[in-house]
Amino acid sequence: MSIAETRKDAEGRMKKSIESLKTELARLRTGRANASLLDAVMVEYYGSPVPLSQVASVSVSDARALLVTPWEKNLIPKIDKAIRDAGLGLNPVAGSDNVRVPLPPLSEERRKEMVKVVRQEGEGARVAIRNIRRDALFAFSTENWRRPALEVRLLMNLFRLLLRREAKKLHGNGVRLRIIGDRAVLAPDLQKLINDAETLTAENHRLTLSLAVNYGGRWDITQAARKAVQFCQGQGRDPAKLDEEDIARHLALADIPEPDLLIRTGGEERISNFLIWQLAYTEFYFTDTLWPDFDGVELGRAIHSFAQRQRRFGRTGDQVQDPACDVG
């Protein structure tokens, strides 16, 4: 994928994430009538479920009610049942020509539930956009050296070609390139290409593209621990008193937040030695969809799954729902 295509794809995914959030918020039952509330209702039509909007018009009768007018009057009983079964907490009233859907008053319990859902959906959209702007690509792991020599050589040559051709394009598009991994074993000319590309794009802030080359999670922890010991000794501190923060500040991606969501495509259900320290509290999403086919729709499903989860970080469910206990 070219730089222009990558940029276009990232911008497209951001827009879709925002639109998805808008759609989910529009469906919330707040006590005021909104036709979008019934967007997810499916009606059985000649043996197949179809969206309500394909067999009827939905309008706002008044501030507290919706009016559903079917194209075919014999669908009124099916529409009535579909709305009741949709899990929206609504009790429609079927008439001879239409179905009236009154909205119950917004109770205190419902207010709390709505706040929870809004926070979940908002967090899902925030995470999606933040992660899109900070893409990390696992290009070559420490274990990949075990592959046939010819394949390794071809991969390294492709990496050289990428750096020579794409670095200026990345810079022109405001993209910061960073390479994480053990560079010491890479060829000198490849190390120079990496340094030149990182220096060229260092001041860019529109998008950060992290490319993992000769990277492994265990290597990352090992090198961070060594640097932490050296740092402590240099300050006259006892290395035996090292804590998690001492190690964390020397990890390859120490300057960015730990991932909120890890998406693994292709039917694999393991992390393959990738960011094993940083993924301690990350939510995992596995899909059989192959990476080239992972589009905006698939991303939306992953975000929706993430938004339904309660992230407790060691706390109880009641604490998570209490704003006073928010960890920010």
Q: Are residues 208 and 262 in the same domain?
A: yes
Scan for tokens 């917004």, then name that residue: 106
Inside any domain, residue 17: no
pLDDT band, very low/low/confident/very high, at 108 (cuts 50, 70, 90): low
Q: Answer with the one of 90, 105, 120 that is the final residue of a domain.
A: 105
Inside any domain, residue 10: no
More confident residue, 104 or 198: 198
Q: Are residues 139 and 240 in the same domain?
A: yes
**CA atoms of 194 and 181, how far apart (whole Å):** 11
Q: Are residues 87 and 225 in the same domain?
A: no
**The CATH number of the domain where 224 resides is what?**
3.40.1180.10
Inside any domain, residue 111: no
Alpha carbons within 13 A on the beta-carbon side of 151? 6
Strand locations in 216-313 (E): 261-264, 283-286
Q: Are residues 180 and 293 in the same domain?
A: yes
Q: What range defines the domain where residue 96 resides?
A: 31-105
Q: Are residues 280 and 133 in the same domain?
A: yes
Q: Are residues 305 and 267 in the same domain?
A: yes
Amino acid letter for position 311: R
> Is residue 248 over pLDDT 90?
yes
Inside any domain, residue 55: yes
CB 242 within 8 A of CB 228: yes
Of all residues in the chain, the percent with pLDDT exceeding 90 is 21
Secondary structure class of 253 (helix, strand, coil) = coil
**CA atoms of 257 and 203, how far apart (whole Å):** 19
Segment 7-23 shows an average pLDDT of 54
Burial annotation 83-122 (CB, 10 A radius, 16+ → b, else e) = beebebebebeeeeebbebebeeeeeebeeebeebeebbe
Selection from 106, 127, 129, 124 nearest residue 24 by Cα: 124
pLDDT band, very low/low/confident/very high, at 214 (cuts 50, 70, 90): confident
> Is residue 118 over pLDDT 70?
no
Q: How many helices (H) and strands (E) does the chain have?
A: 9, 11
Give the range among 121-135, 209-223, 268-282 with minimum mean pLDDT.
121-135
Residue 93: φ, ψ to 5°:
-120, 110
pLDDT score recorded for residue 1: 44
CB 224 within 8 A of CB 250: yes
Secondary structure class of 265 (helix, strand, coil) = coil
Q: Are residues 149 and 198 in the same domain?
A: yes
> Is residue 220 over pLDDT 50?
yes
pLDDT score recorded for residue 6: 47
Q: How many domains does the chain contain in total? A: 2
Q: Are residues 207 and 70 in the same domain?
A: no
Q: Is the pTM of this model over 0.95?
A: no
Q: Are residues 223 and 82 in the same domain?
A: no
Give the range among 87-101, 116-130, 185-199, 273-287 with minimum mean pLDDT.
116-130
Inside any domain, residue 254: yes
Inside any domain, residue 8: no
Inside any domain, residue 113: no
pLDDT band, very low/low/confident/very high, at 320 (cuts 50, 70, 90): low
Inside any domain, residue 121: no
**The CATH number of the domain where 58 resides is what?**
3.30.1360.40
Q: Are residues 132 and 75 in the same domain?
A: no
pLDDT score recorded for residue 81: 92
The winner for highest mean pLDDT among 111-115, 137-141, 223-227, 267-271 is 223-227
Q: Answer with the one of 70, 90, 105 that is the final residue of a domain.
A: 105
Q: Are residues 176 and 82 in the same domain?
A: no
Q: Are residues 75 and 169 in the same domain?
A: no
